[in-house]
Amino acid sequence: MSLLATAGAASAASAADVSRASFGKANGRDVEAITLSNAAGMKTRIITYGAAVQSLIIPDRDGHMDDVALGHSTIEPYLAKPQFFGATVGRVANRIARGRFVLDGKTYQTPVNDGVNSLHGGSKGFDKVIWEVVSVKSGPSASVTLRYVSPDGDQGYPGTLTTIATYSLDEKNQLTIDYTATTDKPTVVNLSNHTYWNLAGEGSPLGAMGHLLTIPADYYTPTDAGAIPTGELRPVAGTVFDFRKPTPIGARVRDASEEQIRFGKGYDHNWVVDRKIAAQPRLMLRVEEPVHGRVMEVLSNQPGVQFYSGNFLDATSSGKAGHLYRQGDAIVIEPQMFPDTPNQPAFGSVRLDPGQTYHNIIVLRFSTAPAR
């Protein structure tokens, strides 16, 4: 075989690949599953319902493969008990106080679906719709691009919003989630991904509270009892929110002396990594599962990261391995603008005007660490 042919064969062998299959029906419409895989054995499955991560399989330090994303094997549980498993959340991720915001002097009301507040876009946010497959690609990285067009007035939000979500898997075990959006009227946008992660495996009895968490942030945004930020940027130093050095999540997650922990029944807060959107993704968070050695680094161009310790998983649903999902079995990491930003201009702005493009790029880097 010639050197050219050998190089071509090696390139083909190392190319990331993509495949498509049916994942059932939702409301009479077909739901598709797109699987991205690489030569290292990493594999992720994206479903068009909610543009969601249905599974993500990666090796541990000994090469053993596990699915580390919570979810279901069929579409029916996603419909029967929506829990944002793996989903794209929007138009506005996180919470809006009382579901109301003012834009150009007009008050808009979105559905109240989290106590008195609106959560993740309302009662039928982007997690509960079927996205269109725009393209799939193999090559140095495998990708799927999905699109959803949210009409003017959808869930009370102004403007027709066209949202693109591209999932790309490369040969370095890096999954990139790239969100963009455009509008035909002034509106508000804050998209993120809501995958529940357990780096020990989604069916592992270890849960996620032994994971070592690092968040390079000096401040976080404390909330009221309804999980709406008070507006304060509070130093993490000397508090249970200080993860500037690797710390087990479970070490302080039940500290009843901390009012913020009592409010959220654990961690469900935004950390201030920066005050502005960055030109390039920067490290938001690192998590390591010490028993199996899996490591996930999360990078994004967004200024905040919501970290949620799975406080409301209540054993009323089971996952792909047939295990009940209980409190603390997984964590959620959502790079985004700060919660309730539409009502708190000191946090910045989530406004999007015609001619502008919203952009949130999330990079998930997977690797392994030696035994401690």
What positions carry a catalytic annotation?
Answer: 194, 334
Question: Is 234:270 a contact under the CB 8 Å cutoff?
Answer: no
* Pairwise CA distance, residues 187 & 121, whole Å: 13
The DSSP line for 189-235 is -B-EEE-EE-TT-TT-TT-STTSEEE---SEEE-B-TTS-B-S--EE
Beta bridge partners of residue 37, listed in sequence order: 17, 43
* Pairwise CA distance, residues 32 & 302, whole Å: 29
* Pairwise CA distance, residues 4 & 27, whole Å: 51
Question: Is 181:355 a contact under the CB 8 Å cutoff?
Answer: no
Per-residue CA distances from 136 to 31, 133, 146, 211, 279 (Å): 16, 8, 9, 34, 27
* Pairwise CA distance, residues 44 & 64, whole Å: 16
Nearest CA-CA partner of 186 in 94, 99, 91: 91
**Radius of gyration for the alpha carbons in the chain, expressed in angstroms and rounded:** 20
Nearest CA-CA partner of 344 in 275, 298, 282: 275
